[in-house]
Chains A and B, each alone.
Chain A
Amino acid sequence: MTDGPPQRLQVDWPRCRARGLCHELLPEAIGIDPWGYPVVEQALPADMVRAAREAVRVCPLSALHLRDS
């Protein structure tokens, strides 16, 4: 696990097309709204950063970002 500033997921909303891969991969940190779009409100627990990176990587539209919170 890498130490560093706390990280959070952010969505590039105009890019997101609700494909839902991120939610399937990391339901603990990425919820889903009634229309299928991701809900990523809280800061990310440190032990989820690796899985979050994977979610960012697999997004087919490159709409998910991991940034310093």
Chain B
Amino acid sequence: MTPRPRILPGPWLLRTSRPDLATHRATHGELPTMTLARLQEVIGTGQVRGRGGAGFPFATKLGAVAGRRGRRHVVINFSEGEPVSHKDLALALNAPHLVLDGACISAQALDVRTIQLVLPRERHDLRDAIELALAERRRHDPRSRVRWDLHLAAPRFVSGEASAVTELIAGRTPLPVTSWEPTAMSGVRGRPTLLSNAETFAHVAALVLPGGDGYAALGTPEEPGTTLLTLVHGPEDIEVVEVPHGSPWEDVLTAEQACEPLLLGGYHGTWVPAGGLRGQLVSRAALASQGLALGAGVVMPLPRDTCPLELTAQLLRYLAAQSAGRCGPCLNGLPALAHAFEQAVAGLPGSDLDELTSHLVGRGACAHPDGTVRLVRSALLAFPEEAQSHSHGNCLTSGRVRESVR
């Protein structure tokens, strides 16, 4: 069983640690009724971006779904593919009604009555929290026209991927398939589908609920509001924090962590070299200008006495094993990449990493190969001295001189 994170109090989404509906309403107020146009206006000024990893603007997605005729779907994705991400679990445990409110207001604007929820099968604490919250809502408003459909996603990296989620809801094998159009236009059974990460819906609710002015005043004019981060201090020591956009990283990291290398975004994320976030701000735009991305909000400082390249090799083995095995380049290329990287770390001859990664980018039904390549490329970019040293059979961390095997 994965560890339970410590959830620190935050300025808005995590203002209260009491998940019940009465506390939620007392804190955030009653959910207003809104037309689609009004919702788009509110969301547009708040500039909510998707928090599942891709960072796509929510207003654009909403507009694309609204622009298509016929039956539509609204899906809350609680299935965090990134195994160390715990932010959506934190929301389920401490603020489930914010997520549910965000989905309710979106469904209402799109004239959708049934909201689909995708929950990770192995996280019983998350499932219990959501079922409790839904039962509370039914009790509180027995005549509500909103229906909730629960779906359980298998514990694997690609289960939370958009097309795997829409396949799950359609009752088919829940693995990624080729989508020729965005999910917003053609999602569940080819219908327009508003599929967003749980945290995204919570930010929508924060803007829409009375008192949302206070939320939008947090952060910066370009990036209003807050973001959730999962801080991985150790395998059993995980914290979820909520920080306003534009906060200095020094507010999030300890002085020691700010000087160490860290993995940002998750296993599909990017390595930041030692001290790379010092003097920087928690901002998607500022990070993007340096080739970095917040992704799913995972911040994992490099554990003490750990070689970043050896850790990357371990992550690659894991990621290769997580391939759904459906797309040839991923099925063949990820194990080959993991092996070639291991060889390079051992100072042994192997396939050229640049060439291998070029065979993977954009060649699959989902972004699993792309995310894995991102990790490899960022490791080589962030740790050139370590890579150089390993190529000669030395590790800068352990000081070991590796046996050269012929």
Contact = CB atoms under 8 A, between A and B. Distances in A.
Interface of A: 10-18, 33-37, 39, 41, 65, 67
Given A13-B363, A14-B326, A67 B178 contact: no
Interface residues of B, number: 18
Contacts, number: 46
Q: Is the interface of A mostly helix, strand, loop or mixed?
A: loop
30 contacts: A10-B180, A12-B178, A13-B326, A13-B327, A13-B329, A13-B363, A13-B364, A14-B175, A14-B176, A14-B177, A14-B178, A14-B326, A14-B327, A15-B178, A16-B327, A16-B328, A17-B328, A33-B333, A33-B359, A33-B363, A34-B359, A35-B328, A35-B329, A36-B328, A37-B329, A37-B332, A37-B363, A39-B363, A65-B180, A67-B180
A65 to B, nearest CB: 8
Given A33-B359, A35-B328, A67-B180, A13 B365 contact: yes
A65 B180 CA distance: 10
Contacts of A12: 178, 365
B50 to A, nearest CB: 23
Contact of B329 (A10, A17, A33): A33
A33 B359 CA distance: 7
A11 B178 CA distance: 9
The 7 closest A-B pairs by CB, nearest first: A13-B327, A35-B332, A14-B326, A37-B328, A12-B178, A33-B359, A13-B365
Nearest to B359: A33
Output the residue of A10, A11, A14, A65 with the most chain B CB within 10 A: A14
A12 B163 CA distance: 13
Interface of B: 175-178, 180, 326-330, 332-333, 336, 359, 362-365
A10 B179 CA distance: 11
Q: Is the interface of B mostly helix, strand, loop or mixed?
A: loop
Output the residue of B326, B327, B329, B359 with the most chain A CB within 10 A: B329
A33 B360 CA distance: 10
Contacts of B362: 41
Contacts of B176: 14
A13 B328 contact: yes
Nearest to A40: B363
Contacts of B363: 11, 13, 33, 37, 39
Contacts of A10: 180
A61 to B, nearest CB: 11
A3 to B, nearest CB: 23
A41 B329 CA distance: 14
A18 B332 CA distance: 12
Nearest to A34: B359
Contacts of A16: 327-328
A23 B330 CA distance: 19
Contacts of A33: 329, 333, 359, 363
